[in-house]
């Protein structure tokens, strides 16, 4: 069944956006939801188009599936916004233990991309790695820039962190090519 996998992918994608936002700025829930909603709507729309044009479903059938595919993860994002504002004073903003959160978030983001590519492409592992690695590298470079500019670390101190942050999730995506 495609619907549970789409819901899983949407929730994983939102969780990764929430965690990445929590590393840098507040209001965490608001920013994560505002980034997530149009991105997820575009993905849900592509899914509907694939269903109509490639799989031969009727537009009315895909329209009824579009509501839960978009709506349930969108509601989770709305709840994340509400929870962040009500219970964490627009946080949680991560100040310590960032490396473990970055590594975990990288793996969750890869998993979300992997589930989505499994639903939308014929070679999901290779496509997931091809989409994930440049995206993750850009994030890791952004994290380095924030470490240097905002936190005051030197580039030399940040390079090993960048390599670690990039290497572990990238290795997961490469190892998944074997499965």
- Please report the pLDDT score of residue 64 as a whole number: 84
Digit-by-digit pLDDT tens for the chain (179 residues) are 688 999 999 999 999 999 999 988 889 999 999 999 999 999 998 888 877 676 677 878 778 888 899 999 999 999 999 999 999 888 777 777 888 999 999 999 999 999 999 888 888 888 999 999 999 999 999 999 988 998 889 999 999 999 999 999 999 999 988 87
Q: What is the CA radius of gyration of the chain?
A: 17
- Please report the pLDDT score of residue 77 as a whole number: 96
User: Cis peptide leading into 92, omega within 30 of 0?
Assistant: yes
- Please report the pLDDT score of residue 31 as a whole number: 95
* Cβ-based burial of 176 (10 A; exposed 0-12, middle 13-18, buried ≥19): middle
15-31 in b/e form (b: 16+ CB < 10 A) is bbbbbbbbbeebbbbbb
Measured CA to CA in angstroms, residue 73 lies from 41, 76, 91, 116, 131 at distances of 10, 5, 20, 14, 21
């Amino acid at each position: 069944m495609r619907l549970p996998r789409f819901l899983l992918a949407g929730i994983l994608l939102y969780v990764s956006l929430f965690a990445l936002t929590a590393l840098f700025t507040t209001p965490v829930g608001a920013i994560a939801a505002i980034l997530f909603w149009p991105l997820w709507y575009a993905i849900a729309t592509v899914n509907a188009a694939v269903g109509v044009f490639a799989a031969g479903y009727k537009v009315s059938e895909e329209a009824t599936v579009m509501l839960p595919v978009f709506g349930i993860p969108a509601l989770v994002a709305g709840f994340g916004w509400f929870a962040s504002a009500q219970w964490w004073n627009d946080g949680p903003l991560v100040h310590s233990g960032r490396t473990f959160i970055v590594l975990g978030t990288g793996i969750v983001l890869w998993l979300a991309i992997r589930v989505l590519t499994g639903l939308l492409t014929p070679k999901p592992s290779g496509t997931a790695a091809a989409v994930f690695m440049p995206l993750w590298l850009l994030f890791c470079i952004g994290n380095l820039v924030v470490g240097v500019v905002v936190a005051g670390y030197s580039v030399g101190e940040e390079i090993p962190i960048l390599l670690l942050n990039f290497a572990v999730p990238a290795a997961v995506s490469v190892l998944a090519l074997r499965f």
